[in-house]
Amino acid sequence: MKSIKDLNITGKTVFIRCDFNVPKDEDGNITDDRRIRGALPTIRYCLDRDCKVILASHYERPEAGVYEDKYSLAPIVQRLQTLLKLATEITLANDVVGKNAKKKAAALQSGEVLVLENLRYEAGETQNDIILAKELASMVDIYINDAFGACHRAHASIDAMARLFDKEHKAAGFLLGKEVNFFEKTLEKPMRPFIAVVGGSKVGTKLEALNELINKVDKIIIGGGMAFTFLKAQGLEVGNSLVEDHLLNEAKKIMDKAKEEKVKFYLPVDVVIAPEFTDKCIAKYVPAQEIPKGWMGLDIGPASSRLFREVLNDAQTIIWNGPMGVYEMDKYAKGSTKMSHNIADTHATTIVGGGDTADVALRAGDVDEMTFVSTGGGASLNLIEGKKLPGIEALKA
Ligand code: AMP
């Protein structure tokens, strides 16, 4: 995979596929702009070389063809304008490859930036449509992918479009290069002990990653909703906690494999339980072996936090993906916050992957203490699983 530095881009029109899919609050304010900041080095590199820069990204999941304000990239453009501190105004096209975008692209001058509207307003984006890819490609000389968070999806702006350019005219941006390098290097030659901390709600989506991690790590810590599938697979009563019953066997196999590979496998020893999935009710701590019928586990308890802290003590490398509880509700956020502090406090190389997990680290004030916070959840999981990412394959083709 080439880096943007390997290409001759001076004075050219450059398309940069970014991942501006940032979280917003109910008032539409951007709550975490790390994905926008992450794209700045590549954008600045192009501007410094007198390029005409066209940026494109998807934002959430609008219905194709329906232009709604809440899915517009307008707030992103505003934030970009502030962060880039450009003398000229960044323009936003009203469409993706329509008349307005084409007209604005044709009028673009060196050192100027044009942002296309939300790529998913075009149905062809998620269908990896070659016609849309050709329309996008027709506006530019160079294709740059800097959207790590979207690289696990074979979409038109990620896959089909990249394949229309030869190797002298396509490359990875700085953010994509950094993300891929970090995961590959860490997974290839980790400093040991190497510990994986995995949480979140679904075992299903993380099964392959867990299977792969067992071959690589020295210890695994499981928390979050997915812990209950493992606890139930051990024969414990888990009440109404989140459980994927069809995966109980798989969970058992993973624990057996860990034993065979001599990987230490840690589950919560106590949990925060509540009778309902809400923070407007009583909650209490119980040992993981004493969850009453009718109650559900929504966070790990204080004894688990202390145990996991001990487990992490000698770590030299830590990969963390998934919160320890329903951290969106303050009442069940302590386990995740403490895990963030515990990881940040180690001397290990720490890699945080996944939007939710990065959000926990941010709320806990630990982002600066982590070695690397990835901008892509699904993409980083796929890299851990050893899967090939469509966006990266298309750059290499
Ligand atoms: P994932 O997308 O699989 O990483 O899951 C993240 C989600 O897991 C977050 O929205 C958490 O609220 C949720 N979660 C964590 N712990 C639990 C739990 N014990 N029960 C239900 N959901 C949980």
The domains located in the chain, with CATH, are 4-176 (3.40.50.1260), 183-384 (3.40.50.1260)
DSSP 351-364: EEESHHHHHHHHHT
Residue 165 C-alpha from the chain's centroid: 27
Residue 75 clears pLDDT 90, i.e. is over it? yes
Determine the distance separating the centroid of ligand 1 and the alpha carbon of 199, expressed in angstroms. 7
Instruction: Give the model confidence (pLDDT) of 110-134 as tens digits.
Output: 999 999 999 999 999 999 999 999 9
Tell me if residue 124 is catalytic. no
Shortest-distance Cα residue to atom 2 of ligand 1: 200
Instruction: Give the model confidence (pLDDT) of 159-190 as tens digits.
Output: 999 999 999 999 999 999 999 998 888 888 99
Q: Is 386 annotated as a binding residue?
A: no
Determine the distance separating the centroid of ligand 1 and the alpha carbon of 10, expressed in angstroms. 46
User: In the structure, what pLDDT confidence band is assigned to residue 32 with cuts at 50, 70 and 90?
Assistant: confident
Q: Is 347 annotated as a binding residue?
A: no
Q: What pLDDT score was predicted for residue 207?
A: 86
User: In the structure, what pLDDT confidence band is assigned to residue 204 with cuts at 50, 70 and 90?
Assistant: confident
Q: Using a 6 Å CB cutoff, which residues line ligand 1?
A: 200-202, 205, 224-225, 242, 297-298, 322-323, 325-328, 354, 356
Tell me if residue 49 is catalytic. no
In a mutational test of the pocket of ligand 1, which residue from 197, 201, 334 has the highest number of ligand atoms less than 8 Å from its CB?
Answer: 201
Q: Is 44 annotated as a binding residue?
A: no
Determine the distance separating the centroid of ligand 1 and the alpha carbon of 309, expressed in angstroms. 21
User: In the structure, what pLDDT confidence band is assigned to residue 151 with cuts at 50, 70 and 90?
Assistant: very high
Residue 26 clears pLDDT 90, i.e. is over it? no
Shortest-distance Cα residue to atom 11 of ligand 1: 326
Q: What pLDDT score was predicted for residue 387?
A: 86
Nearest-atom index, ligand 1, CA of 271: 19
Q: Among 17-26, 88-97, 373-382, 388-397, where is mean pLDDT lowest?
A: 373-382
**Residue range 365-381: mean pLDDT, rounded:** 90
Check: CB of residue 182 under 8 Å from CB of residue 372: yes
Q: What pLDDT score was predicted for residue 383?
A: 87
Among 44, 102, 134, 202, the active-site one is 202
Q: Is 28 annotated as a binding residue?
A: no
CA atoms of 117 and 125, how far apart (whole Å): 12
Instruction: Give the model confidence (pLDDT) of 223-267 as tens digits.
Output: 999 999 999 999 999 999 999 999 999 999 999 999 999 999 999
Q: Residue 91 corresponds to which tokens in the numbers above?
A: 């323009």
Q: Is 61 annotated as a binding residue?
A: yes
Residue 31 clears pLDDT 90, i.e. is over it? no
Tell me if residue 149 is catalytic. no
DSSP 190-253: --SSEEEEE-SS-SGGGHHHHHHHHTT-SEEEE-STTHHHHHHHTT---TTS---GGGHHHHHH
CA atoms of 29 and 89, how far apart (whole Å): 21
**Residue range 151-157: mean pLDDT, rounded:** 97
Shortest-distance Cα residue to atom 10 of ligand 1: 326
**Residue range 316-330: mean pLDDT, rounded:** 96
In a mutational test of the pocket of ligand 1, which residue from 296, 326, 336 has the highest number of ligand atoms less than 8 Å from its CB?
Answer: 326
Q: What pLDDT score was predicted for residue 93?
A: 98
User: In the structure, what pLDDT confidence band is assigned to residue 385 with cuts at 50, 70 and 90?
Assistant: confident
Determine the distance separating the centroid of ligand 1 and the alpha carbon of 330, expressed in angstroms. 13
Average pLDDT in the chain: 95
Residue 355 clears pLDDT 90, i.e. is over it? no
List 145's β-bridge partners, or say none: 17, 172
Residue 386 clears pLDDT 90, i.e. is over it? no
Check: CB of residue 118 under 8 Å from CB of residue 62: yes
Rama region for 358: left / alpha / beta (φ>0; ψ in -120 to 50; rest): alpha
Tell me if residue 163 is catalytic. no
Higher pLDDT, 188 or 151: 151
* Torsions phi, psi for 291 (to 5 deg): -75, 120
